Amino acid sequence: MIGRMRDVIVAANWKMHTTPADAGDLARTIGARTRVPGVVRVICPPFVCLAAVRDALAEDDPGVGVGAQNVHHELQGAYTGEVSAPMLAGLATWVIVGHSERRRDAGETDEIIARKLTRAFDAGLRPILCVGEQLAEREAGDQEDVVDRQLRGALAGHPSDVVRSTGLVIAYEPVWAIGTGRNASGRDAAAMTDAIRASLEGVGHSQADADATPVLYGGSVTSANIGEFLAEPSIDGALVGGASLKPDEMAGIVARAGVTAAARGMVERSAAERGAGE
């Protein structure tokens, strides 16, 4: 790879689990068990738990990012039950966009997802954009076309300099692997990350920008299988659902991510950046 090595990122998607009463303790425990140099950690709790997680981490682990699991595509208005990007100010610095469970349950289209990205970019939230194919699409050999279409739709109208400056992260999450215990193979996931970077070039990003974009794998990641994904140089970490609620699992996943971060020289880099900021 040319230029600066990509961050190694482990992002936790707690989905609709935890309450404001227990989320802070869980975040504190996970933070303490995952202090591994060079790994970017992010916890995405439900909206109502964001403040508790933010406060718990601010005390003990300010290095852990806090993310929302969704953001509305409008700034304000008559959208009962929704949360806009400006409302997340001070609560979250990351946001998951286009998760397949929202595409499935909330009817999110690529066009809506593109508008959510606009809100995230404008609000300075770092987006984790999820893409991935259904089982039938993989069985038909259409996975690259599906993901290419999702990326084209989501990134339509977003200039590459904006995308670059906000640090877009892409999560390749084959839908058939999410919450099923059936993960993709490392090799297949790596082929998809290569296809994703090719798609980024296809929508007008330079090769250097595509190379610099972190791509995570998501779908039944555990401490037992994370090594298979991080053995692939094109994969930069994981978006973790079910296992992210278990401190032992998170400890194992982030420890393995630390091996990749060290191999990429991220440990020295983060120490140097901390030094420069002092």
Name the site residues for ligand PEP (rule: CB under 6 A): 13, 15, 173, 178-179, 218-221, 239-243
* φ/ψ of residue 130, rounded to 5: -95, 135
- Residues 6+ positions from 9 with CB-CB distance below 8 Å: 39, 40, 41, 42, 169, 214, 216, 236, 237, 238, 257
> With contact defined as beta carbons under 8 Å apart, do 80 and 52 qualify?
no
Question: Min. distance of Cβ 186 from ligand PEP in angstroms?
Answer: 15
Residue 202 in tokens: 């296809």
Nearer to ligand PEP, 95 or 209 (CB): 95
Of 38 and 98, nearer to ligand PEP (C-beta) is 98
CB of 119 to ligand PEP, least distance (A): 20
Ranked by CB distance to ligand PEP, the top (closest) residue is 241
CB of 260 to ligand PEP, least distance (A): 18
Task: Please report how close the Cβ of residue 238 comes to ligand PEP at its closest, in angstroms.
Answer: 8
Burial class (CB in 10 A: 0-12, 13-18, 19+), 215: buried
The nearest distance, CB 244 to ligand PEP, in angstroms, is: 7
173: annotated active-site residue: yes
Question: Two tokens at 13?
Answer: 């998607």
Cβ contacts of 19 within 8 Å, gap of 6 or more: 48, 49
Which residue's CB is nearer to ligand PEP, number 133 or number 209? 133
Catalytic residue among 101, 137, 173, 249: 173
User: What is the full DSSP assignment across 207-251?
Assistant: HHHHHHS-EEEESS--TTTHHHHHTSTT--EEEESGGGG-HHHHH
- Tell which residue, 64, 121, 131, 61, has the closest CA to residue 95: 121
User: CA 277, CA 15: separation in Å to the nearest integer?
Assistant: 34
**Which of 173/209 has CB closer to ligand PEP?**
173
Among the listed residues 99, 108, 137, 249, the single catalytic one is 99
At closest approach, how far in Å is the CB of 17 from ligand PEP?
11
- Which residue, 86 or 179, has its beta carbon nearer to ligand PEP? 179
- Pick 102 or 205: Cβ nearer ligand PEP: 102
For residue 89, CA distances in Å to 8, 85, 132, 228 come to 25, 7, 29, 36
Query: Which are the catalytic amino acids?
Result: 99, 173
